[in-house]
Amino acid sequence: MTAKISTTTSVSIPERMHAWRIKDQPGPISSNPLEWVEVPVPNPGPGEVLVRVRACGVCRTDLHVSEGDLVVHRKQVTPGHEIVGQIVALGEGTDRSSAADEDAAGEGEEATRPPETKRRGSGRLRIGEYVGVAWLRHTCGECDFCRSGAENLCQKSQYTGWDANGGYAEYAVAPADYVYPLDDLLGAEEGREATNGEMLDAHSEQGALYSVESVAPLLCAGIIGYRALKRTGLLRFVDDRAVSESVTKGALSDGNESAATAISRPLTLGLYGFGGSAHLTAQVALGLGMRVHVLTRGEDARKLALELGCASAGGAYDMPPEKLDAAIIFAPVGDMIPVAMRALRPGGVLSLAGIHMSDVHTLNYENELFHEKEIRTVESNTRQDGREFLAFAARHHLDVDTHPYPLSQGQKALQDLKEGAFAGAAVLLP
């Protein structure tokens, strides 16, 4: 088919594509609950973009969707929400220059709304432009949560690869207001526009900070890890220009305005589980001067942690060599919570990064909760979290440990993730 776009440029797009989708019912990944199918290429609706998928990260949430740990939101959904895509068509009215609101204060009600509810960008969305498509794909923009900067708690939120088809496919559709420009990470090439009706076949990575393969895990593993780190409260002690002013001010709003100068020693952070998200979060924390201790089951993961500069790497149920100011659990294992709580200093915070976790059976109040220790959960992220993290990644280069798989081996990648066959992150490449 030939898609007509608002710039009057036409791009040749095939009628059909290959994709993975869940069969009639999700199930254990060992039972092969996904099927490899040929389906029509989707058309972008108003306010949407169609991207040719160049890379899609394999996230543990994809595993939860495939195995039925998460309630089915869409039958036979295509998983995948760490998409690096190249825009090949714009839906009607999809024009960033005409839809964008100014970042600075302007006139009317829009100027008073939090960044999460504003459309972002400068200039037009371009055919050939590389964008990131992440987990969050829709919020109502009108509820108390959306209007107070907590759009991740919107009760009408929708998600890529759960409510709508995702990136385990050759093409995907995404709302334009929820994609992330990637020029700062991949480099802004000249000549990305379609030429003679055809897309550029490949992205040149010469001079770019990252490859399309290494950017993919940043779009969920990186953003969610960053959100989990924010939830620990440790960023209120950090003074770094790469952490936005709004984060610092927000973290200090509880009256601890002197917190950033109150502690002269390095902050201590424990990470329980060390896969795609944790190995990126560790580098953010290290870049901000924290001392990081990793507790995880995999020998390869412990080795990677030490190679990245973490202070120690022990078993998942070991005690770290020193008390922790905060900890994050990435593994979906509820039994780790009491262990992590015992490792915290008085006043320490445990952040739970996962969307799914096994039950927590018992907690001892005196040994695991007393002394004003806290447990905080993480639900998705705001678009502001995404912008902050990607800006950090542009300033502080992160070593992304990736394991490429052909798109046709998407189910195998999920099976290997379940078995702990690799440290770091798997990425599907069409």
Structural domain includes residue 330: yes
Task: Say if residue 163's pLDDT is above 50.
Answer: yes
Give mean pLDDT, residues 298-305. Answer: 94
pLDDT of residue 238: 83
User: Exposed e or buried b for every residue in 125-137, given b needs 16+ CB within 10 A?
Assistant: bbbbbbbbbbbbb
Split at pLDDT 50, 70, 90, the class of 245 is very low
- Residue 103 — pLDDT band, cuts 50, 70, 90? very low
Q: Are residues 45 and 187 in the same domain?
A: yes
- Inside any domain, residue 289: yes
Answer whether residue 282 is part of any domain. yes
393 within domain boundaries: no
Flag whether pLDDT at 379 surpasses 60. Answer: yes
Q: How far apart are CA 78 and CA 62, in angstroms?
A: 9
Please tell me the predicted confidence (pLDDT) of residue 424.
87
Residues 275 and 416 in one domain: no
196 and 297 in a single domain? The answer is: no
Structure confidence at residue 255 (pLDDT): 37
Report the interhelical angle of 276-287 vs 299-307 (nearest 10°).
20
pLDDT at 262: 59
Note whether 85 and 61 are same-domain residues. Answer: yes
In this structure, are 414 and 369 located in the same domain? no
pLDDT digits over 105-161, tens only?
A: 333 334 334 444 343 444 478 999 999 999 999 999 999 999 999 999 999 999 999
Residue 385 is assigned to a structural domain of this protein: no
Distance CA 29, CA 417 (A): 10
Is the domain of 176 the same as that of 287? Answer: no
Q: Does the residue 281 lie in any domain?
A: yes
Residue closest to 330 by CA, chosen among 389, 377, 418, 271: 271
Q: State the sign of the Cα–Cα–Cα–Cα dihedral 314, 317, 323, 325.
A: positive
| 136 and 77 fall within a common domain | yes
Q: Are residues 193 and 244 in the same domain?
A: no
CATH of the domain at 96: 3.90.180.10
Tell me the CATH number at 274.
3.40.50.720
Strand pairing class (291-295; 268-272) = parallel
Which ranges in 28-120 belong to alpha helices (H)? 60-67, 96-99
Does residue 104 have a pLDDT over 50?
Answer: no
Instruction: Please check whether residue 85 is in contact with residue 130, taking contact to mean a CB–CB distance below 8 angstroms.
Output: yes
* pLDDT greater at residue 119 or residue 25: 25
Asked if 111 and 161 touch (Cβ cutoff 8 Å), the reply is: no
Name the E strands within 260-412.
Answer: 268-272, 291-295, 312-314, 324-329, 344-352, 374-377, 402-406
Domain that holds residue 259: 223-377
Query: Closest Cα partner for 83 from 427, 354, 397?
Result: 427
Q: Are residues 135 and 206 in the same domain?
A: yes
pLDDT of 23 higher than 80 = yes
Same domain, 288 and 321: yes
pLDDT tens for each residue of 172-229? 999 999 999 999 999 865 335 443 344 445 455 556 889 999 999 999 999 999 999 9
Quote the percentage of the chain above a pLDDT of 70: 81
Work out how many domains the chain is built from and give that number: 2
DSSP 8-state assignment for residue 91:
-
Q: Parallel, antiparallel, or unpaired: how do β-strands 48-58 and 425-429 relate?
A: antiparallel
Does residue 409 sit in helix, strand or coil? helix
Question: Does any domain span residue 141?
Answer: yes
At 125 the pLDDT is 84
Mind listing the pLDDT tens digit for each residue in 338-354?
Answer: 999 999 999 999 999 98
- Do 367 and 236 fall within a single domain? yes
Per cent of the chain over pLDDT 90 is 73
pLDDT per residue over 32-84, tens digit each? 999 999 999 999 999 999 999 999 999 999 999 999 999 999 999 999 999 99
**Residue 308, amino acid:** L
* pLDDT for the residue 354: 87
If asked whether residues 80 and 162 sit together in one domain, one would say: yes
Tokens found for residue 369? 């909760």
φ/ψ region of 388 (left if φ > 0, alpha if ψ in -120 to 50, else beta) reads: alpha
DSSP state of 336: H
Between residues 258 and 363, which one has the greater pLDDT? 363
**Does residue 202 lie in a domain region?**
yes
Check residue 98 and give its pLDDT.
31
